[in-house]
Amino acid sequence: MSTPGRPYEFPDPDDRSANDPSIVVQPKQVLGLYNQTHNEGRQKVNDTVKSWFISEAKDLGWPDATFAGNSCILNNPVESRR
């Protein structure tokens, strides 16, 4: 019997600093977060997954979320925190 892995956690925008305002979320984590939330087994990052991920990022306080291929770049610049 296999043990389920640790759940994926969405990156926290408050964990960023002036010297490191961005984080790249790899496709495996993007899909893991989507499937965890939707109880689905999607295998590929598609437009539905991307739209959900960007919307979720904005809801969690990320001022900027942009996909580059199937990875998402989350950015929380210092000036947005003032």
Structure tokens at 4: 């389920």
Q: What CA–CA distance (Å, rounded) separates 8 from 30?
A: 9
Local structure of residue 9 (DSSP, 8 states): -
- 4 pLDDT higher than 70: no
Greatest CA separation found in the chain? 50
Q: Does residue 2 form part of some domain? A: no
Q: Does residue 18 form part of some domain? A: no
For the segment 29-53, what is each residue's pLDDT rounded down to a tens digit?
999 999 999 998 999 999 999 999 9
Q: Does residue 15 form part of some domain? A: no
Q: Does residue 40 form part of some domain? A: yes
Q: Does residue 9 form part of some domain? A: no
- 76 pLDDT higher than 90: yes
Which residue range is the domain that position 31 belongs to?
26-81
For the segment 6-24, what is each residue's pLDDT rounded down to a tens digit?
789 999 999 999 999 999 9
Q: Residue 62's CB: how many other CB atoms inside 10 A? A: 23
How deeply is 78 buried, as exposed, middle or buried, from its count of CB atoms within 10 A (0-12, 13-18, 19+)?
exposed
Q: Does residue 17 form part of some domain? A: no
- 2 pLDDT higher than 50: no
Local structure of residue 5 (DSSP, 8 states): P
Total domains, the chain: 1
